[in-house]
Amino acid sequence: MKFPTYDISKYTVRQLVMLPLVLLVISFLFLGFNTLTTGMPVSPGIDFAGGVAVTIPPMEESQADIEAYFFGYPLKSIGEGMNGGYYVVFEIMPDEDFLTLTELIDARYPGAKVDQIGETFGKTLQSQALLALLFSFIGMAIIVFLVFKTVVPSIAVVLAALSNIIITASLMNVVGLTLSLGTTAALLMLIGYSVDSDILLTTRVLKRKGKFSEKIQGAFRTGFTMTSTTISAVALMLIVSWIGQIDIIRDISAVLLIGLFVDLMNTWMLNVGILTWYVGGDKR
């Protein structure tokens, strides 16, 4: 199998950066609209929004039967649980409604597990998760500027990392992935992975001798191999968790998989485009 090549001379700077920047702007607008309408850029899961989660053991009932049984309660979603059971989520409700709900659950599903997350606690987790993302990004930006000590390449790395998070978060809304403790951890991992791939590229271009196109090609071979290997591993983890119905691992894998493909675009189009403009291609 022939390894894919990347001939930078075929593309102008505008062609390289246009698609990533357009997607970044659209994603910013989409997340901004979502924030104005719902209060959060990404739809929050029960971890952040609060509510009641019920794990129903395996039994011969359909989702329609469960919906009918809990009619009158703020049922949010019904998902598949372990070994053919169900994972039922309710929105926040008054304490008296919660008490009657638990009585209904105990009467029909004696082996069910009930977890309640209060609205105040959910908002506290929400703010802590957003702060973790913000401080991680700021810390990453500071380290990048200290490493390269030049403005344009550092901005390129930071912009690529920011674009990864923004576009991935926007796509989470599109595919129906909620913001939870697990998916927040996945976004934090993407910050680190994005910086790793972009620093590899930038270091090869700025600190190695040779023609610009040859340095890009060498960085591409290493970076593409690294990212494609990771994508394969994460895709396998997604399949296994989907079959095993391990929701938190499935959601983390899905976010990572989306983010890795977005990282390929931002590293080898956006970051390469900015570096091409900065260095001047093979004229340097």
* DSSP track, 134-175: HHHHHHHHHHHHHHH--HHHHHHHHHHHHHHHHHHHHHHHHH
* Domain 8-45+120-283 fold: Multidrug efflux transporter AcrB transmembrane fold (1.20.1640)
Structure tokens at 23: 């997607």
Higher-confidence residue: 152 or 22? 22
Kindly state the average pLDDT of the residues 143-167.
88
Higher pLDDT, 80 or 264: 264
Question: Is the separation of the CB atoms in 169 and 264 below 8 Å?
Answer: no
Q: Among all chains, which residue has been given the structure tokens 């991680």?
A: 136
Residue 17, both tokens: 């950066």
d(CA 56, CA 69): 13
Q: What is the pLDDT of residue 3?
A: 61
DSSP code, position 44? B
User: Are the CB atoms for 204 and 76 separated by under 8 Å?
Assistant: no
CA distance 81 to 89: 12
- Which pLDDT band holds residue 283 (cuts at 50, 70, 90)? very low
Tokens linked to 87:
């994972």
User: Residue 164 and residue 69: Cα distance in Å, rounded?
Assistant: 43
Question: What per-residue confidence (pLDDT) applies to 23?
Answer: 95
**Residue range 247-276, pLDDT digits in tens:** 888 899 999 999 999 999 999 999 999 998
Q: What percent of the chain lies above the pLDDT cut of 90?
A: 24
Distance CA 92, CA 23 (A): 35
Q: How confident is the model at residue 235, as a pLDDT?
A: 94
Spatial distance between the Cα atoms of 225 and 173, rounded to a whole number of angstroms: 29
**pLDDT tens string 107-123:** 888 878 888 877 666 67
What single-letter DSSP state applies at residue 179?
Answer: B
Amino acid present at 186:
A
> CA 161, CA 129: separation in Å to the nearest integer?
18
Write the CATH number of the domain with boundaries 51-117: 3.30.70.260
Q: Is the pLDDT of residue 284 over 50?
A: no
pLDDT in tens, 210-226: 888 888 888 888 888 88
Position 205 pLDDT exceeds 70: yes
**For the chain, domain boundaries:** 8-45+120-283, 51-117
Q: What is the pLDDT of residue 61?
A: 78
- pLDDT band at 47, cuts 50/70/90? confident
Q: What is the pLDDT of residue 200?
A: 85
Over residues 79-97, the mean pLDDT reads 79
Structure pTM? 0.83
Tell me how far CA of residue 115 lies from CA of 89, 149, 248, in angstroms.
Answer: 10, 50, 16
Average pLDDT, the chain: 84
